[in-house]
C-alpha cells in the first residue's frame, strides 16, 4: 500500500514538473460572425492561426446561413427536396434530432421561416405578422418534415428551411477541441462566441475558471465555474429584444405556437460533456419554466443548469442538483 502511494506521488510530481515547463499559447481571431480564442499548454507552438481559420472556414461552408453557397443555404432553397450533406452537418443534425426528442419538440431547427417572419433573421422586418400568417408558416415547420438517410437530407415541403445557429457554434468548439486532441495537446480552453470547452489543467495545476455571463441588474450570486474536460454555454434573452403589442418579444421562437417566447427565464447556463450538447440545451432551458428546466436537467445524464429568472420585480436563481459542485468556493 505504501509503495503504491509513493508511486502515485512520484507520478504526480513528474506530471506537475512537466506542466510547469510548458508555456501557455494564445490564438484569437474573428470567424462565424463572432470572435474566438484558444489557449493551450505545450512545450512549443504547435497550432497556427491559419489552421484554425481553415477549420472554421470548412464548417462555414457547411452550415453558415450567411454563405450563399453553403450546404445549408442550398438545402433551404425552395427547389431542393433533398441534398447530399457533409459529415459536419450530418453530425449536427443527428444531435439536433436527439435533443428534439428529449425536449418534447422545444428544440426544432426548422424554425428558420418563423425567425425570419418575426424579423430576427438576417433581414429584419418593421411590422409583426398577424395570426393567419403565423399559422400559414407553421404548416411547413417541424422536424418531422425533414429526415436523414445516411448523409442525404430530405424535406417533405420545399418551403421548409433549417437554422443550425442554435447548435452549430457549439459543434465548432468541439471540432476545434478534437483538432487539438489530435495534436496531443492535453490542456486547453476553446471559446467561440461564448461557447466554451476545456481539457486538463492550467500551467499552475488548477482548473480553468469561467465567470458566468449575467444580465445587467441581476442580484444573484456571482458564480465562477471551475471546469475540467467539460463544456459550458450561456443563452440569454436580454440582448435581441423587440416589442409586440406592448410586450417584449425575444429571438427564441416557440416552434409550436409560432410566436416568440414570453418566459420569465432571463438566462440559462449549461454545463455538459460537449459544447454541442450545451449549445443545444441552452435553447431548451430558455423555453421552459425554471421548475420544468431544473426537473429536466436532473433527468438528463451529464447536464447541469443554472437559471436566472424574473419574478415580482426582482431576479432569482435556480440550479440543478449537481451544479454547485462546479462553482469555485
Given a cut of 50, whether residue 8 has pLDDT beyond it is no
Given a cut of 60, whether residue 10 has pLDDT beyond it is no
Rounded to two decimals, the pTM is: 0.88
The continuous run of DSSP H or E covering 323 comes out as: none
For residues 242-256, give the mean pLDDT.
68
**Contacting residues for 163 by C-beta, under 8 A, at least 6 apart:** 65, 109, 110, 111, 112, 115, 121
Highest mean pLDDT among 119-123, 125-129, 144-148: 144-148
> What pLDDT does residue 16 have?
47
Which pLDDT band holds residue 124 (cuts at 50, 70, 90)?
A: very low
% the chain with pLDDT above 90: 71
> What pLDDT does residue 263 have?
83
> What pLDDT does residue 225 have?
96
**Contacting residues for 142 by C-beta, under 8 A, at least 6 apart:** 105, 108, 110, 255
**Contacting residues for 204 by C-beta, under 8 A, at least 6 apart:** none
What is the rounded CA–CA span in Å between residue 154 and residue 141?
14
Q: Which residues are annotated as a binding site?
A: 166, 279
What is the rounded CA–CA span in Å between residue 192 and residue 44?
23
C-alpha cell at 37: 480564442
Given a cut of 60, whether residue 168 has pLDDT beyond it is yes
Exposed (0-12), middle (13-18) or buried (19+): which is 54, by Cβ within 10 Å?
exposed
Which pLDDT band holds residue 72 (cuts at 50, 70, 90)?
A: very high
First to last CA, the chain: 32
Using alpha carbons, select from 314, 323, 328, 324 the residue that is nearest to residue 219.
314
For residues 32-53, give the mean pLDDT.
95
Paired with 31 in beta bridges are: 34
Residue entry with cell 421562437 = 253
Exposed (0-12), middle (13-18) or buried (19+): which is 246, by Cβ within 10 Å?
exposed
What is the rounded CA–CA span in Å between residue 229 and residue 155?
37
300 occurs within a structural domain: yes
12 occurs within a structural domain: no
16 occurs within a structural domain: no
9 occurs within a structural domain: no
> What pLDDT does residue 119 have?
77
CATH of the domain at 160: 3.10.520.10
Alpha-carbon distances of 219 from 162, 214, 216, 238, rounded to whole Å: 37, 10, 9, 15
User: Is 222 or 320 the better-scoring residue by pLDDT?
Assistant: 320
pLDDT tens string 171-209: 999 999 999 999 999 999 999 999 999 999 998 899 999
17 occurs within a structural domain: no
Which pLDDT band holds residue 298 (cuts at 50, 70, 90)?
A: very high
Given a cut of 90, whether residue 258 has pLDDT beyond it is yes
Beta strands 23-31 and 34-42, pairing class: antiparallel
∠ CA 237-255-33, nearest 5°, is: 50
Given a cut of 90, whether residue 75 has pLDDT beyond it is yes
Given a cut of 70, whether residue 248 has pLDDT beyond it is no
Number of domains the chain contains? 1
For residues 14-21, give the mean pLDDT.
49
Q: b vs e for 97-133, b when ≥16 Cβ sit within 10 Å of the residue's Cβ?
A: bebbebbeebbbbbbbbbbbbbbbbeeeeeebbeeee
4 occurs within a structural domain: no
> What pLDDT does residue 237 have?
72
Q: Which residues are annotated as a binding site for Mg(2+)?
A: 166, 279
Q: Report helix, strand or coil for 127.
A: coil
> What pLDDT does residue 253 have?
86
Which pLDDT band holds residue 121 (cuts at 50, 70, 90)?
A: low
36 occurs within a structural domain: yes
Give 245-259 as a DSSP string: TTEEEES-B-TTT-S
Residue entry with cell 411547413 = 140
Using alpha carbons, select from 90, 28, 20 the residue that is nearest to residue 59.
90
280 occurs within a structural domain: yes
> What pLDDT does residue 242 have?
56
Phi, psi of 57 (to 5 degrees): -65, -35
pLDDT tens string 90-107: 999 999 999 999 999 999
Computed over every residue of the chain, the mean pLDDT equals 88
Strands in 304-311's sheet, in edge-to-edge order, are 23-31, 34-42, 188-192, 195-199, 231-236, 265-272, 304-311, 314-319
Strands in 152-155's sheet, in edge-to-edge order, are 82-84, 152-155, 146-149
> What pLDDT does residue 15 have?
39
User: Is 217 or 135 the better-scoring residue by pLDDT?
Assistant: 135
Question: What is the domain range of residue 45?
Answer: 22-326
Of the listed ranges 175-184, 250-259, 272-281, the one predicted with least confidence = 250-259
Phi, psi of 160 (to 5 degrees): -65, 135
Amino acid at each position: 500500500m505504501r509503495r503504491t502511494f509513493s508511486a502515485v506521488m512520484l507520478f504526480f510530481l513528474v506530471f506537475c514538473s512537466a506542466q510547469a515547463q510548458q508555456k501557455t499559447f494564445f490564438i484569437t481571431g474573428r470567424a462565424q460572425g463572432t470572435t474566438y480564442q484558444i489557449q493551450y499548454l505545450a512545450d512549443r507552438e504547435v497550432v497556427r492561426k491559419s489552421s484554425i481559420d481553415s477549420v472554421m472556414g470548412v464548417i462555414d461552408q457547411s452550415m453558415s446561413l450567411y454563405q450563399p453557397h453553403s450546404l445549408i443555404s442550398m438545402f433551404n432553397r425552395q427547389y431542393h427536396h433533398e441534398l447530399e450533406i457533409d459529415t459536419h452537418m450530418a453530425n449536427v443534425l443527428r444531435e439536433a434530432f436527439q435533443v428534439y426528442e428529449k425536449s418534447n419538440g422545444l428544440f426544432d431547427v426548422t424554425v428558420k421561416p418563423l425567425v425570419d417572419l418575426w424579423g430576427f433573421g438576417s433581414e429584419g422586418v418593421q411590422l409583426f405578422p398577424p395570426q393567419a400568417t403565423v399559422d400559414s408558416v407553421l404548416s411547413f415547420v417541424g422536424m418531422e418534415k425533414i429526415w436523414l438517410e445516411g448523409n442525404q437530407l430530405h424535406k417533405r415541403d420545399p418551403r421548409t428551411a433549417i437554422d443550425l445557429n442554435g447548435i452549430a457554434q457549439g459543434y465548432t468548439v468541439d471540432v476545434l477541441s478534437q483538432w487539438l486532441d489530435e495534436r496531443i495537446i492535453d490542456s486547453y480552453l476553446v471559446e467561440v462566441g461564448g461557447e466554451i470547452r476545456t481539457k486538463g489543467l492550467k500551467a499552475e495545476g488548477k482548473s480553468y475558471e469561467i465567470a458566468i455571463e449575467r444580465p445587467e441588474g441581476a442580484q444573484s450570486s456571482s458564480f465562477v465555474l471551475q471546469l475540467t474536460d467539460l463544456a459550458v454555454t450561456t443563452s440569454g434573452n436580454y440582448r435581441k429584444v423587440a416589442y409586440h403589442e406592448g410586450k417584449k418579444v425575444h429571438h427564441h421562437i416557440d416552434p409550436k405556437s409560432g410566436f416568440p417566447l414570453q418566459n420569465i427565464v432571463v438566462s440559462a447556463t449549461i454545463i455538459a460533456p460537449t459544447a454541442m450538447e450545451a449549445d443545444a440545451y441552452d435553447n431548451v432551458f430558455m423555453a421552459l419554466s425554471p421548475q420544468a428546466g431544473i426537473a429536466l436537467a436532473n433527468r438528463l445524464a451529464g447536464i447541469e443548469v443554472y437559471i436566472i429568472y424574473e419574478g415580482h420585480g426582482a431576479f432569482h436563481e435556480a440550479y440543478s442538483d449537481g451544479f454547485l459542485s462546479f462553482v469555485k468556493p
